[in-house]
Amino acid sequence: MATDLGNLYTHSMVHPDVAAVYVDDDPLTDLPKAILDNEVPNASVIANFDAEKFLITVNVTFGQEEYGSVTGGGEYNKGSKATIKATAAEGYRFVKWNDDDTNAQRQITVTEDATYTASFEVVPTHTITTDVTPEESGAVALSPEGGEYYEGSQVTLTATPAEGYQFTKWDDDETENPRTITVTEDATYTATFAAVDPGTEGE
Protein backbone atom coordinates (compact mmCIF):
# COMPACT_ATOMS: atom_id res chain seq x y z
CA MET A 1 0.00 0.00 0.00
CA ALA A 2 1.39 3.37 -1.02
CA THR A 3 2.10 5.97 1.65
CA ASP A 4 0.34 9.31 1.27
CA LEU A 5 3.14 11.83 1.07
CA GLY A 6 0.86 14.83 0.72
CA ASN A 7 1.71 16.13 4.19
CA LEU A 8 5.25 14.83 4.52
CA TYR A 9 7.22 17.27 6.62
CA THR A 10 10.01 17.69 9.10
CA HIS A 11 10.85 20.34 11.68
CA SER A 12 13.81 22.27 13.11
CA MET A 13 16.70 23.81 11.17
CA VAL A 14 18.49 22.54 8.09
CA HIS A 15 21.55 20.46 8.77
CA PRO A 16 23.23 18.25 6.17
CA ASP A 17 23.99 15.32 8.47
CA VAL A 18 20.91 14.65 10.57
CA ALA A 19 17.51 14.12 8.94
CA ALA A 20 14.34 13.76 11.01
CA VAL A 21 11.57 12.94 8.51
CA TYR A 22 7.93 12.52 9.56
CA VAL A 23 4.64 11.49 7.97
CA ASP A 24 1.54 12.54 9.94
CA ASP A 25 3.72 13.12 13.02
CA ASP A 26 5.18 9.59 12.81
CA PRO A 27 8.89 9.20 12.09
CA LEU A 28 9.66 7.71 8.68
CA THR A 29 13.15 6.24 8.89
CA ASP A 30 13.19 4.17 5.70
CA LEU A 31 12.17 6.91 3.27
CA PRO A 32 13.81 6.11 -0.07
CA LYS A 33 16.37 8.56 -1.28
CA ALA A 34 14.38 8.77 -4.48
CA ILE A 35 11.60 10.58 -2.65
CA LEU A 36 14.02 13.05 -1.11
CA ASP A 37 15.38 13.62 -4.62
CA ASN A 38 11.81 14.27 -5.84
CA GLU A 39 11.94 11.27 -8.17
CA VAL A 40 8.58 9.94 -6.97
CA PRO A 41 5.59 11.57 -8.74
CA ASN A 42 3.24 13.64 -6.60
CA ALA A 43 5.53 13.42 -3.56
CA SER A 44 5.83 16.72 -1.76
CA VAL A 45 8.84 16.78 0.53
CA ILE A 46 9.91 19.68 2.75
CA ALA A 47 13.10 18.70 4.54
CA ASN A 48 14.27 20.77 7.47
CA PHE A 49 16.94 19.12 9.56
CA ASP A 50 18.11 19.41 13.16
CA ALA A 51 20.76 22.09 13.65
CA GLU A 52 24.05 21.12 15.27
CA LYS A 53 24.10 22.52 18.78
CA PHE A 54 26.90 23.35 21.20
CA LEU A 55 27.00 24.08 24.91
CA ILE A 56 28.37 27.41 26.12
CA THR A 57 29.23 27.33 29.82
CA VAL A 58 29.87 30.54 31.78
CA ASN A 59 31.06 30.56 35.38
CA VAL A 60 33.05 32.49 37.97
CA THR A 61 36.60 31.65 39.00
CA PHE A 62 36.58 29.13 41.86
CA GLY A 63 36.63 30.88 45.22
CA GLN A 64 35.22 34.12 43.76
CA GLU A 65 31.56 33.14 43.74
CA GLU A 66 30.66 36.11 45.98
CA TYR A 67 32.62 38.54 43.81
CA GLY A 68 30.13 38.63 40.96
CA SER A 69 27.81 36.75 38.64
CA VAL A 70 27.66 35.71 34.98
CA THR A 71 24.91 35.19 32.41
CA GLY A 72 24.64 33.91 28.86
CA GLY A 73 25.37 30.21 29.19
CA GLY A 74 23.26 27.62 27.44
CA GLU A 75 22.83 25.55 24.31
CA TYR A 76 23.17 27.38 21.00
CA ASN A 77 22.96 26.47 17.32
CA LYS A 78 26.26 26.27 15.48
CA GLY A 79 27.15 29.63 13.98
CA SER A 80 24.77 31.60 16.18
CA LYS A 81 25.76 34.51 18.39
CA ALA A 82 25.84 34.24 22.18
CA THR A 83 26.10 37.23 24.50
CA ILE A 84 27.85 36.55 27.80
CA LYS A 85 28.08 39.06 30.63
CA ALA A 86 29.97 39.34 33.92
CA THR A 87 28.55 41.60 36.64
CA ALA A 88 30.63 42.49 39.67
CA ALA A 89 29.12 42.64 43.14
CA GLU A 90 29.53 45.80 45.22
CA GLY A 91 33.12 46.26 46.29
CA TYR A 92 34.48 44.13 43.45
CA ARG A 93 35.29 44.65 39.79
CA PHE A 94 35.54 42.47 36.71
CA VAL A 95 39.09 41.74 35.51
CA LYS A 96 38.93 39.40 32.51
CA TRP A 97 37.69 36.13 31.02
CA ASN A 98 39.86 33.03 30.91
CA ASP A 99 40.79 33.82 27.28
CA ASP A 100 42.12 37.24 28.43
CA ASP A 101 39.25 39.22 26.93
CA THR A 102 38.61 42.21 29.21
CA ASN A 103 35.12 43.12 28.03
CA ALA A 104 32.62 42.31 30.78
CA GLN A 105 29.90 41.94 28.17
CA ARG A 106 30.84 40.37 24.87
CA GLN A 107 29.37 38.51 21.92
CA ILE A 108 30.85 35.24 20.71
CA THR A 109 30.22 33.11 17.64
CA VAL A 110 29.35 29.55 18.62
CA THR A 111 31.50 26.98 16.81
CA GLU A 112 32.03 24.33 19.50
CA ASP A 113 31.41 23.53 23.15
CA ALA A 114 33.23 26.17 25.18
CA THR A 115 33.64 27.41 28.74
CA TYR A 116 34.13 31.07 29.67
CA THR A 117 35.28 31.85 33.20
CA ALA A 118 35.10 35.36 34.65
CA SER A 119 37.71 36.67 37.10
CA PHE A 120 37.01 39.46 39.59
CA GLU A 121 39.05 41.31 42.18
CA VAL A 122 38.46 43.37 45.29
CA VAL A 123 38.27 47.10 44.63
CA PRO A 124 40.80 48.89 46.88
CA THR A 125 39.55 51.65 49.18
CA HIS A 126 41.28 54.94 49.90
CA THR A 127 40.86 57.61 52.55
CA ILE A 128 40.20 61.24 51.61
CA THR A 129 40.74 63.79 54.35
CA THR A 130 40.38 67.57 54.35
CA ASP A 131 41.90 70.53 56.14
CA VAL A 132 41.74 74.32 56.08
CA THR A 133 44.29 77.07 56.44
CA PRO A 134 44.40 79.21 58.44
CA GLU A 135 42.65 77.41 61.25
CA GLU A 136 38.96 78.19 61.81
CA SER A 137 38.81 80.11 58.53
CA GLY A 138 36.24 77.78 57.00
CA ALA A 139 35.24 74.18 56.44
CA VAL A 140 35.33 71.52 53.71
CA ALA A 141 32.50 69.09 53.05
CA LEU A 142 32.75 65.80 51.14
CA SER A 143 29.95 64.39 48.98
CA PRO A 144 29.19 61.59 49.37
CA GLU A 145 30.10 61.77 53.03
CA GLY A 146 32.32 59.23 54.72
CA GLY A 147 35.97 59.81 53.93
CA GLU A 148 36.67 56.25 52.73
CA TYR A 149 35.90 55.48 49.10
CA TYR A 150 36.36 52.77 46.50
CA GLU A 151 39.13 53.39 44.01
CA GLY A 152 37.72 55.10 40.95
CA SER A 153 34.91 56.79 42.87
CA GLN A 154 34.16 60.44 42.28
CA VAL A 155 33.94 62.75 45.28
CA THR A 156 32.91 66.41 45.39
CA LEU A 157 34.74 68.76 47.78
CA THR A 158 33.06 72.02 48.77
CA ALA A 159 34.96 74.70 50.68
CA THR A 160 32.81 77.10 52.71
CA PRO A 161 34.49 80.15 54.28
CA ALA A 162 33.78 81.29 57.82
CA GLU A 163 32.50 84.81 58.38
CA GLY A 164 35.14 87.32 57.42
CA TYR A 165 36.99 84.95 55.03
CA GLN A 166 36.83 83.99 51.40
CA PHE A 167 38.04 80.89 49.58
CA THR A 168 41.15 81.39 47.47
CA LYS A 169 42.50 77.99 46.38
CA TRP A 170 43.29 74.39 47.23
CA ASP A 171 46.79 73.30 48.24
CA ASP A 172 47.39 71.89 44.74
CA ASP A 173 46.60 75.38 43.32
CA GLU A 174 43.23 74.30 41.97
CA THR A 175 40.78 77.20 42.32
CA GLU A 176 37.54 75.50 41.35
CA ASN A 177 35.05 75.30 44.21
CA PRO A 178 33.22 73.00 44.48
CA ARG A 179 35.51 70.53 42.74
CA THR A 180 35.17 66.86 41.87
CA ILE A 181 38.04 64.41 42.21
CA THR A 182 38.54 60.79 41.14
CA VAL A 183 39.85 58.67 44.00
CA THR A 184 43.12 56.91 43.12
CA GLU A 185 45.00 56.95 46.44
CA ASP A 186 44.89 58.22 50.01
CA ALA A 187 44.96 62.02 49.88
CA THR A 188 44.38 65.19 51.87
CA TYR A 189 42.90 68.32 50.32
CA THR A 190 43.49 71.60 52.12
CA ALA A 191 41.36 74.65 51.39
CA THR A 192 43.06 78.01 51.73
CA PHE A 193 41.00 80.98 52.86
CA ALA A 194 41.95 84.62 53.11
CA ALA A 195 40.63 87.26 55.45
CA VAL A 196 38.30 89.71 53.74
CA ASP A 197 39.33 93.38 53.95
CA PRO A 198 36.61 95.00 56.06
CA GLY A 199 36.60 97.88 53.62
CA THR A 200 35.69 95.60 50.68
CA GLU A 201 33.47 93.08 52.44
CA GLY A 202 30.05 92.99 50.87
CA GLU A 203 31.13 94.68 47.64
> Highest mean pLDDT: which of 9-23, 31-45, 170-184?
170-184
The residue among 45, 36, 47 whose CA lies nearest residue 5 is 45
Confidence at residue 50, expressed as pLDDT on a 0 to 100 scale: 66
Give the chain's mean pLDDT: 83
Confidence at residue 197, expressed as pLDDT on a 0 to 100 scale: 81
How large a percentage of the chain has pLDDT more than 90?
70
pLDDT for 10 beyond 50: no
- pLDDT one-digit tens code per residue, 114-168: 999 999 999 999 999 999 999 999 999 999 998 899 999 999 999 999 999 999 9
- pLDDT one-digit tens code per residue, 25-46: 444 444 555 455 555 455 444 4
